Amino acid sequence: MAKLTILSISVENLGPFKERQTLELRVTGRRPVILVKALNGSGKTTLLTALQVGLYGHKAISGMKRTEYEQLMLGMQRKDAVGNSSVEVLVLVEIGGAPRTLTVRREWRRKGSDLIESLSIFEDGSKDLIFSDTWDEFIGSILPAELVQLFLFDGEKIEALANPERLPDLLRRATEVFLGIGGIEALGGDLKALERRSMLKNKDSSAEFESARANVASWEDQEQSLANELGNSIQAQASAKNVVEQAQRALSKYTAEAQRRGLAAYEQAASIRHTVVVSQKESEAARSALAEVLSDPVLPMVWLPSLWQRYIESWEADQHSRHSKLLAQEFKKRDQRLVAAMAQKLPKNATDAFRQALAEDLQQFSSKRPSNQPTLQDAPPKEAERQMEDGKKRLRQALDRLAATREDLDRAEQQIGQIPAEEQIATILKSLQERTKEATAAEAQLAAITTRIEELQTNLIHVRARLGGAQERLTTEFRDRSLEAKGLEASIRARKALLLFKDKLLASKAQWLSEMITNEFRNLLRKRNLVSKVLVDPVSYQVSIEDGKGQELSMDRLSAGERQLLAISVLSALIKERKGGRFPVVVDTPLARLDQEHRSSLIKRFFATVSHQVVVLSTDQEVDGIAYDTLKPYTNSEYSLDYDDGVGSTTINKTTAENFA
Amino acid sequence: MDRIRLNASAKNQLATLKRRTGIEHNNALCRHALCISLANPSVPPLESFSFGGGIEIDWRTLTGGQDALYLNLLAVRILSEGKKVSEEVVRQTFIQHVHRGLSYLVSRREDDLLVELAKSLEAIAN
């Protein structure tokens, strides 16, 4: 709860004030009123403006553009003055029980046709730079600039407030400010600005955002199509596997079949033929060996066993006769030796007898020999028989060998016989080839599909990564974007809600306001019975008056003074309702159109009670006599503004009550 | 006995037998023909051979170095027939028997004459 009190105001080179003039405005709690009297043109309104402008700068005059404000200030600057215009307001600010005394100084200096305004805040005699920057905000937190006109107001303008067209608007705005609805408005405005900004920003970023979105979408499409294709390919792979298995089964089955039908033999034909050739060669060799054996010169003797027997016998006989012949010869020689030996020892006749006997014996021996045997040549059968035996053995072996080779040859030839003819095998071979081709093609197909699947899987991983990246990017880079989108919605909702809230608040306030205004108005107004109630329409804030009979009076029916009073009651109600911060009230010529009775009630009911510090700026006519007396108990001090025609400037002088006596 | 002459039919028969047995040399075939004929105790008919277009074979070659043995055998056969052994008789006997033997061999109808001969020979030997 802040409380602001104006301690003094100094004005230099502004309107009628040339040299620096200071107006002391300290008050004590019991007497809140400072009375400043002045003739027209001596600077009352300038003083009011200086107060407003000093505290609030260009914000003080609502609905005025910056350039208009500058024109106003330029217009107020004196041509005859040297140096800058300035307003210095000394204020006492009480926030949280720690009072601060601040000097707010605004200076305006001409620079060509422009006006340069500078603001400085002094505390304890030193300039506070930071505070100078944040002053507007600070003072605005005590009393919003929109309401300055309600606290520091010009009585002549009150009449304008009493105009029924303008009143509702003022009432509504004032109420809004008092209720802090300005905050709601500001919030709404901020939201609007935010929306606008985000719209603008989105205009810039939306292309990028859209492209990112499109990017994500395209990756999603790709992923989808890849996944579909992968699914299809996996199915195709399964069926291709089946096809391969079938083909392989058919092939192996057919291969077995073909072998049964001589294919193997056919395929082995070459080796079989080779075997046959080898066997034939073997067989030939065996035959040659047999022929060789049969060519043995002794072996044919086997054909004639009986003749051979005879030959053996003949051979024996021949040998025997040979031996006998040799023996006879030897006997003969021995006989001769014996006869020769006997002839020396024996008589002749004995020797002859002996010779005779020997000769007979030899004769005897020789006669046993077969005669006229042709002598056989030297070919002993024993030797021949040995050779024969050997020949027989070799014959046996050669025969066996030949038989064996024959068998081999037969077998080989049998196999050869099993080799099917080429044309027989051609169809088998052809279908075998076809089946092999089918199996190979199926395998190739399967391999292709498998490769494709691997490719797809790799692609899919890649695309998913890219998709993830794109989504990631979308969410991070455009998070604020999506947040903004949400924010926009939220903002729109919030604004709706705020509007609703504001209307409800205002409507609820309208009731209360009407009571307050009724109260104030009835306090001020002489014709109590004229008004039973001031009504504030909760929607339009149209102010209407109900008379005692419950008839509605339009504001046009009120006199100008009554309307002024109504406006003042409205102000009073509003000011008294202002709880945010206590602020001085300055009134400029408030009593112009009022009669005596109304003046005193205004003084009593309004000036005395409306604030802790009330500055009344009046003409010499307004606060006079009864009014002055009425105001006296509430008056803290009095000043007069005296305009010196000669110098063309006003001075501020403190006056005593006696001067008014 | 140094050169033996055989007639043209014997020559043809020999060619045939060579083809059918695979025995390459005439002398071997003639030895078998002689012995097969000698094994038959019947006396071959006496015929006068005309050797035109025939062949001549050296006796030593024919007997394969066993001329004494063959001569002895012929002598024993001649003697067993009660004939006198002389060179002329031996030659005559030899030629008759060879021719008869060759005819025997050629007249055999087996496919594989060589093996059949060998087997017959074996059968006699055992």
CB distance A86 to A105 below 8 Å: yes
Euclidean distance between CA atoms A69 and A251, whole angstroms = 105
Nearest to A585 by CA among A600, A568, A597, A599: A568
Cα A369–chain centre separation: 142
Helices (H), chain B: 8-21, 26-39, 59-63, 67-80, 87-107, 113-125
Contacts of B36 in chain A (CB under 8 A): 300, 303
d(CA A616, CA A638): 10
A297–B65 C-beta distance less than 8 A: yes
* Burial of A581 (C-beta count, 10 Å sphere; 0-12/13-18/19+): middle
From B21, B76, B77, residue closest to A291, measured CB to CB: B21
User: Is A310 within 8 Å of chain B by CB?
Assistant: yes
Q: Is residue A626 within 8 angstroms of chain B, CB to CB?
A: no
Residue A654 lies in a domain: no
* Cβ neighbours of B38 in A, within 8 Å: 303-304, 307
Task: Work out the mean pLDDT of chain B and round it to a whole number.
Answer: 90
Tell me the C-alpha to C-alpha distance, in Å, between residue A177 and each of A48, A172, A321. Answer: 22, 9, 183
Q: How far is B110 from chain A (nearest CA, A)?
A: 15
Torsion of CA A15, A17, A22, A25, to 10 degrees: -40
Q: For residues A502 and A188, what is the distance between their CA atoms, to the nearest angstrom?
A: 10
Report pLDDT for A609. Answer: 80
Cβ-proximal residues to A509 (8 Å cutoff; 6+ apart), any chain: A175, A179
* A304/B121 touch (CB, cutoff 8 Å), yes or no: no
Residues of B with CB under 8 A from a CB of A: 21-25, 27-28, 31-32, 34-36, 38-39, 41, 63-69, 71-73, 75-77, 79-80, 85, 114-115, 117-119, 121-122, 124-125
Asked if B39's CB is within 8 angstroms of A294's CB, the reply is: no
What pLDDT score was predicted for residue A190?
79
B22: left (phi over 0), alpha (psi -120 to 50) or beta: left
Which of chain B's residues have a Cβ under 8 Å away from the Cβ of A308? 73
Position A263 scores a pLDDT of 65
Number of domains in chain A: 1
Beta strands A614-618 and A585-588 are parallel
Q: Angle at the Cα of A250 (from A247 to A253), degrees rounded to 5?
A: 150
Among all residues of chain B, which has the CA nearest to that of A315?
A: B72
CA dist list (Å): B114 to A287, B48, B108? 8, 30, 11
Report the relative pairing of strands A635-644 and A152-154 from DSSP bridges.
unpaired
Q: How many CB atoms lie within 10 A of CB A118?
A: 12
- Residue A579: predicted pLDDT: 56
Tell which CATH architecture fits domain B3-123: Orthogonal Bundle (1.10)
Give the pLDDT confidence score for residue A660 in this predicted structure: 42
Q: Give me the pLDDT at residue A276, please.
A: 84
A261 to chain B, closest Cα gap in Å = 34
Q: How far is B104 from chain A (nearest CA, A)?
A: 13
Interval B35-42 mean pLDDT: 92
The one-letter amino acid at A535:
L
- Calculate Rg over the CA atoms of chain A: 77
Selection from A75, A79, A71, A69 nearest residue A18 by Cα: A79
pLDDT of residue A412: 83
Q: CA–CA separation, A593 vs A148, rounded Å?
A: 23
CA neighbor of A381 nearest in space, from A293, A322, A327, A304: A304
Are the Cβ atoms of A294 and B117 closer than 8 angstroms? yes
**How long, in residues, is chain B?**
126
Give pLDDT, residue A587.
83
Residue A391 maps to a domain:
yes
Q: Give CA–CA dist B1/B68, Å, rounded.
A: 11
Cβ contacts (< 8 Å) between B24 and chain A: which residues?
A: 291, 295
Q: What pLDDT is recorded for position A385?
A: 92
Of A615-624, B55-64, B116-125, least confident by mean pLDDT is A615-624
- Structure tokens given for A21: 């003039």
Contacts of A342 (CB under 8 A, 6+ apart): A350, A351, A354
Smallest CA–CA distance, residue B100 to chain A, in Å, is 14
Distance CA B30, CA B59 (A): 11
Q: Is A364 inside a domain boundary?
A: yes
Which of B63, B69, B119 shows the shortest C-beta gap to A384? B69
Q: List CB contacts (< 8 A) between B118 and chain A.
A: 290, 293-294, 395, 398-399
Looking at beta carbons, which residues of chain A come within 8 Å of B35?
300-304
Task: Tell me the average confidence (pLDDT) per consecutive run of 10 residues in chain A, 661 residues long.
Answer: 83 85 81 84 84 84 75 80 83 81 87 81 81 82 77 72 73 71 73 74 67 84 89 89 90 81 68 84 90 91 91 89 87 88 84 86 78 74 91 92 90 78 73 87 91 90 88 73 72 83 79 82 73 78 77 75 78 71 78 74 79 83 77 84 82 66 34
For residue A292, the enclosing domain spans 288-417
